[in-house]
Structure 1
């Protein structure tokens, strides 16, 4: 065994023990809280105005103790109603990715290692104290020799190893849960962990964030209402990101914006149009557009920062969003239901009528609400909450989409409570549908369909001849796939044991009879005869009883 494997095994065991210690401590507190003594302690703490934690709050505190990997996973679960109940999701939404900063001198050394040069030779000025600290990286202010202000983001030391260990343990536990609780198949908890693992590992590589910035720059190069900061690829590595420092006002305080001569209504409109352009025209969007990642520049220009978390939509996802948007506008539950079923990749859904009826009840609540007052993100969330009850699996990217829509809608409504968000999305939705049914698109799909039928007609005689030939030669094989192979193996083992037991008993019975015929004086031969006869009689009775 290699020393590297031994060391990795040691790290896994050490991290597992650390996690177990946190879970045991928090679990013991939760266990005590449910007892008579815990209720007494709770009442006493309430009288003394001390904090009293609920089960949901204790879960959040446990996740915070476990570290950045679990904090980010908790943030994702907060947007997954198919995995976590509403009361736990409300608590998980309080998770923050803020972390204690690590040593500034250590950060400086790491930056110099990535640059392969002293900081003074690369930057004209460099702030020795960090501007911000998150779970993955730490940010510093600096200026380039040409005077350009930049931010320098350096990854935390040894964070990749720790996250990989956590992901290994999380996937192990998820696989155990999926194996022991088959009813969780609709949740696909292993898939959730795998998707999270891919997302956080991409976020660890700052080259990916640099590529995202370049893509957003290309998307908005002709849009004067959106600004994407410049990234300096010559200084960027897997662990280091250097990008333009954007200055502006955060959009969380309309009063400050108005005091600086900015138009909050136009800002809300620009921000909503920017996100809708990302989603419905490019299928590539900023997945965390909260107020801390947005700056308002002069001229009501929207500047985005922090491009580590992005969402990618397939054409099917974009068509879903377009169809469901038009369904909301028309208050048509059938259109909404069909778009949801198509999104889940189900052709024939047995409970379609029940889903339409439930959606009809939901849309009836908004029958007297004007279109410009509809809570668009809230209605999509209600639809997702509804279809999870029918055990339908929704593509993981849709949850990130709903989160982004809800976030930008909240920011926009804070700036302009009367922003018509639902009518705003309608033109984009119509464009998607028009592109889908454009003559060129339909002609292309028709050509592909005819081509497939032509290939089928040409290949069919040869395929039939091959099947008949193999049938004559006895080479046709049929693979049978069992959903639960472990139960099948257990059943086969049980049958084998019973057959072996029966053969042994019959052998003992026949052998004892032969012994008595040849040597009637042998006492153990008579014993074997009686013992085997009794056991065979018991087996016959059990068989008859089961038959009844």
Structure 2
């Protein structure tokens, strides 16, 4: 049974059906019942091969929800090949601006005052327009220049409707397809919904700007515009105005006039600190979100999407980056295995080790002009997925950020070497991590734990010695689940016993066929026929039991 098509969502069903059909998943269109949303001409046409760039373009045309979905899919190396991951990681939304009348109405409603009372000037022509909102240049009453980000009218309702359609499809895939049961699309959808709804609340982005600005305050060449709290709401974000241009807009003459190597190095170092020390990083540094200011600094804008990394994961990522940069493929393999969730049934350690060693060896001496750092991390994620390891989402988000950062680095300094930068900054990053761990709060928590340990140690030692003296000390080792093992042995024994009984019935029936008796069925000795029928019924029951057991096991 497919999806129950709702008339109010028919356009979205049609768009999704076309997308799946075009990119080789016509089986999902038929199984989900989405072929009813397509015209006969569309469903009869065979899908033509389409490259990754075309998929990114199709998602852009479908609207903001699908742009954000594509950005999330760019972090799933287990779902898509590398070219698609790279294309989706650089996905940007290109839409028309909405009228200034709507901007004025939204700002006045959110701030509670007339536009002329809140701002000394407000440019009606937007600086940039994206799927969720657009940005205008303005000035506060005290003359301070600001950028005002205004959310599109009715965008929340549109996204809620799109999410309802995607939830139906995700639920269907998980229930009805092996593909869905393997990858868990309902879980992916829940993650996507939380991420998108957070981006719709501009107060979250304002908090991200404050946190990142504080963390990067010591970097003189990097600035993060700060929000104006009194002019920021759920749908309006007012922040410092940054004068500059996109780094990708630099021409050859512009590169000659600036010293791009220190800028690229400081930007790369700042990202190492964000991910490996602070645990909060700008997850979408595509060229449109990185500006070169008029005074020659780098500005990071649009912090609607950020990544967070736990201290335990930070250490593993640092070890992985160092292993890759120094060409230690075996160590990179071991770190990747410890980072992820290993599927013991499909994991091929030998194949995975060979792939990672070869990958690390190829890129050990590459420069920025020859290799993209983010692409290397994505390739490792892809190799992990192919060999039964699911790496954490944080690593995929970092890979996506690095992939976008590579384009920025090439624009600033084409000969910048990221591997050498990792080795150069590793000692300082490690030192900062240690200083952060030695903060007063962490030291005080450790002192409390040591105090509790010292207080309880004598009583614990006494209990151990008493148990040893009374011959009551026991050591429990749970190497395997013995209950599950015994249950398995019992099933095997039962099937063997059933097979022996069936074999005995067949042999007995064959012998009874030679015994003449008045009781006959279809002209044959009745007792022999009953034995044959019993053996047949038992055989069918045994096959059904085996089939049901195997199917239940696969569904788990």
TM-score by length of 2: 0.70
- Number of residue pairs aligned between Structure 1 and Structure 2: 458
RMSD: 4.3
Asked if the contact 2:277/2:433 (under 8 Å) is kept, the reply is no
Structure 1 residues not aligned, in runs of 5+: 1-11, 43-51, 465-477, 482-535
Q: Is 1:395–2:392 an aligned residue pair?
A: yes
Of 86-95 and 223-232, deviating more is 86-95
C-alpha separation between the residues in 2 aligned to 1:199 and 1:89? 19
Superposed displacement of residue 402, structure 1: 0.6
C-alpha separation between the residues in 2 aligned to 1:436 and 1:88? 35
Asked if the contact 1:226/1:303 (under 8 Å) is kept, the reply is yes
Superposed displacement of residue 327, structure 1: 1.0
Q: Is 1:306–2:299 an aligned residue pair?
A: no
Q: Is 1:364–2:357 an aligned residue pair?
A: no
Q: Is 1:543–2:540 an aligned residue pair?
A: no
Superposed displacement of residue 134, structure 1: 0.9
Query: 2:335 maps to which residue?
Result: 339
Of 305-314 and 188-197, deviating more is 188-197
Match of 1:17 among 4, 7, 10: 10
Match of 1:379 among 376, 381, 402: 376
Query: 2:63 maps to which residue?
Result: 67
Query: 1:529 maps to which residue?
Result: none
Secondary structure of 2:334 counterpart: helix
Secondary structure of 2:244 counterpart: coil
Match of 2:196 among 189, 200, 203: 200
1:55/1:456 CA distance change after superposition, 3 Å: farther
Of 293-302 and 224-233, deviating more is 293-302
Query: 2:278 maps to which residue?
Result: 282
Asked if the contact 2:373/2:418 (under 8 Å) is kept, the reply is yes
1:45-90 superposed Cα distances (whole Å, 9 cap, x missing partner): xxxxxxx983867755653453211121013213422112345446
C-alpha separation between the residues in 1 aligned to 2:259 and 2:390? 42
C-alpha separation between the residues in 1 aligned to 2:73 and 2:188? 9
Q: Is 1:76–2:72 an aligned residue pair?
A: yes
C-alpha separation between the residues in 2 aligned to 1:134 and 1:222? 31
Asked if the contact 2:60/2:93 (under 8 Å) is kept, the reply is no
Superposed displacement of residue 199, structure 1: 1.1
1:16-56 superposed Cα distances (whole Å, 9 cap, x missing partner): 22212334566788888999x958xx9xxxxxxxxx98386
Asked if the contact 2:282/2:306 (under 8 Å) is kept, the reply is yes
Match of 2:103 among 97, 102, 107: 107
Asked if the contact 1:319/1:433 (under 8 Å) is kept, the reply is no
C-alpha separation between the residues in 2 aligned to 1:137 and 1:538? 76
1:476-506 superposed Cα distances (whole Å, 9 cap, x missing partner): xx9x99xxxxxxxxxxxxxxxxxxxxxxxxx
C-alpha separation between the residues in 2 aligned to 1:367 and 1:128? 51
Query: 2:94 maps to which residue?
Result: 98
C-alpha separation between the residues in 1 aligned to 2:458 and 2:389? 35
Query: 1:417 maps to which residue?
Result: 414
Secondary structure of 1:124 counterpart: strand
